[in-house]
Structure 1
Amino acid sequence: MNPTATNPITPNPIMPPPAPLPMPVVPPPLAPSSQPPISTSSPVVENPTSFVSSPGGPNKKTIIIIIIVAVIILSAVLAYFIFTSQRKITPPKEAVTATCPIQENSGQTIVNFEKTPIQSDLTKENANIGPITTSLSAGTYKVTLVSFEQNHLSTANELSESWFLEIIDQEGNIITQTESIPDLASDKDLAAVTLESEITLTTPASAVNAVHASFPDTTNPNKITPLCAAFELVEKQTSAQCLEIKSYDNKWNLLTPNDLTNLIPGETIRFTVTGNSSTGIFDKARFTINGKLQPETITTKPETNEYYLEYEIPANTKTFVINAEVHHKELNSWF
């Protein structure tokens, strides 16, 4: 037998021949890139438990971030409620609701104002309230003024919150004024002050003005609300005045100025005068005719308070200048 000879492989009729092995696929070369090559080695995990999570759920790091965000939101909500609750402790200023603390009694007159603040740093209209109607007879009065300022502690640096009253007669003239009420103390919202100086009215008053004492000071608003004023009559002032002079004939027919120019010498006419007084009575009158003082008279026209004087027309007299006075019995004075 030839040792180099080989036995031919006889196909097994029962088993098929083996399939040829596939050729390995060689990938094409990659283009040059700036990215570092991808490592095919497994990464080294220092703390394998920090990345362990259930399939499809957030990992532990994500949960921590969610908790932090929730704490921040909760803190913001809590801070908001604390802030709003503190604001409710100090409510904003409201409309003036105070009322005059002085109770009206006999011999006292109270004037209530419009509860409108006045201030010194704006226009004259902003520094005045009035005229406010009242009725004060002639006399001497003790005056009380009441100041008010709501939430006054917030304006404690305003040191001239002061005002006074102007007293006005029936013709609209200012006849006198009061002294000023002192500045409202910083720890008070309301103050009633009886002024040291009394006021004396020689004629009746019909209105008052409240005037800011520091106008036109612009360093501060000095806002203050004149709430009310009280006038207590201390002594009634007697006011008296001579009123109308009239001319009559001897039968009490009223004469006109034209009638007087047609009088003839020797005729007798009657001049009358009346007076007005707040208290007391008049007890006599006197006339001055064409510069000559006539005798006093205590005679009155029937059923009236008119004192009269009978006067005989002198010769060569066509015009008359007549002055008259009435005498107040209690005051013992001529008016």
Structure 2
Amino acid sequence: MTAVLDPEIALFLAEMKAGWAAHPPFAELDFPGQRAVCEEVRGRWAAGGPAMAASEDLRFDPGAGELRLRIHRPVGAAVPAPALVYLHGGGFTLFSIDTHDRLMRELAAAGGFAVIGVDYPLSPEHKYPVALDRIEALMRWLSVHGAGWGIDPARLAVGGDSAGANLSFAAALRLRDRGEVGVVRAILSNYGYFTPEVSDRAEERFGGPGSIMDRAEAQAYYDNYLTDRERERLDPFACPIHADLTGLPPVLLVVPECDLLAEQSLAMEARLEAAGVATTTTIYPGATHSFLEAMSVAQVARDAIRDGAAFVAARLG
């Protein structure tokens, strides 16, 4: 790595590494075992943070299969509330609304909107497009019936981190292709993962041994998600970097400077702008992939959460 890490992010990474070291290597665990370790290691970073006026867990089938949802409503939110549907990262394979609970509450509190966290079906047990089908169905259901949950169906945004950002773009593209352009008012993309292609330069600078994520790990996640990487690598709903992006709502790209996937967000920025999409890109110096989880110890993470919440709030009115 040649870029200089933010010192608070470096401490976050060191503590995270120590947490992983207390468990068997991932290669020795099956996928349920990997997820259990993730919940334990990530639990420290999901604790604390702002209290909500109300939080509700439910299981709901929007028409394409069941989802576990968590709705956070911040103090002072309007009724019905504008809402951000948030899709957690984890390479389509790991993590949950529990590992990302504090991040969702921080966004809700900072922006004054509800956040609907989605536990979508994980890979490789559920290959593409199972998760996307259910997320699209949820967005369509909310756009018609959201008022029954105290959600304003005319003021919806979608966002997520890493694989969750991928799914956010893909859901918005699916809705656009159905002619339902107005369902999504904004897309919040936190260090998005848009293609399995990772350059040699990115691997040399930000991957390799000891990194938070290297190219082999990133591509293994995509292999979990896809049935056939070679055949599906140009599918615009699996790899949105290859999509026709015209007609999408405004986008905020949150880009950590020291991220293996930063090049993908910058490539997405160029393609969005070429398609005439209102695009804001913010690069956070010294930050890495997953840096938003460091909000309890790193100012750069708090800044990025504030920026993301402000972007969504402005577009939802």
Q: Tell me the TM-score normalized by structure 1.
A: 0.16
More strand by share: 1
TM-score, structure 2 normalization: 0.17
Which structure: greater helix fraction? Answer: 2
Question: Which protein shows a greater Rg?
Answer: 1
Determine which structure has greater relative contact order: mean sequence separation of CA pairs < 8 Å that are 6+ residues apart, divided by chain length: 2
